[in-house]
Amino acid sequence: MTMANHTRVALLTGGVRGIGRAIAVRLAERGWTIAACYRHSESDAASLQEELQRKNIPVMIERADVSSAEAAAALVQKVEAQFGRLDALINCAGLYHRVALLEESLEGWHEMFDNNLHPVFYLSRAVVPGMIERRWGRIINFSMANADQQIGQPFVTAHYIAKAGVLILTRSLAKVLAAHGITVNAISPGFIDTGSAPADELAKMVKNIPAGYLGDTTDAVHAVCFLLSEEARYINGSNLHLSGAWGV
């Protein structure tokens, strides 16, 4: 189904669960056409597609391993071929594991970069030509609260370095693309209740959050909607902390 030129199209990685799914649903309600990709969450992908189709929202849900540059480029090409354009890229996906630094395997080390940093570059490179042609675009990358502090992280070292790299890549892309009407910004969540982590573990973290409570997916949704809006057109290369003042 090819969409009319005025219809905005968003591509979300990790878009079928948690924060990504909440963003996809809200954007659909606001009239956006939604493309989302996933790697393993087949049942979540099917339920999201069904939910949006019931609302008569144009949607494409694709299984894609965007840690591959070729797969990332092919995904973007497929979205543009089906919908005629791609206006916003929202990089929500991000594999994570905890392991002591000196016990980390080479595979685990590379996996953190392959899934948290490299896809942001692969996908951004693929979506930019169309955005430049239309002189409008939004790229939003998810990092993590405190990644900008570059502190020691003995149990999530590779993941943390990758997320710090996302911030540098975000700022670099912003400088390169600002003249073309494209903004590139980062959102850095702290502790967000997405429904996937055990409630008792999250509850233990509340004492460390200055705001005194956990964030939820609607907080991320509001942040994304703002950065996509014309009200945020002059915000470029920023890092928005979404953490209740944790990690700042």
Place of tokens 């014309």: 230
Half-sphere exposure of 114 (CA within 13 A, CB side): 11
| Type of residue found at 69 | A
Query: What is each CA distance from 20 to 25, 170, 215, 226, in whole angstroms?
Result: 9, 19, 15, 15
Place of tokens 């939604």: 34
- Burial of 198 (C-beta count, 10 Å sphere; 0-12/13-18/19+): exposed
Would you say 136 and 229 are in contact if contact means Cβ atoms under 8 Å apart? no
Q: Cα–chain-centroid distance for residue 54?
A: 25
Active site residues: 160
**Helix (H) or strand (E) run with residue 215 in it:** strand 215-216
CA-to-CA distance for 102 and 100, rounded, in angstroms?
A: 6
Q: Which residues on neighbouring strands pair with residue 12, listed in sequence order?
A: 36, 90
Phi, psi of 77 (to 5 degrees): -60, -40
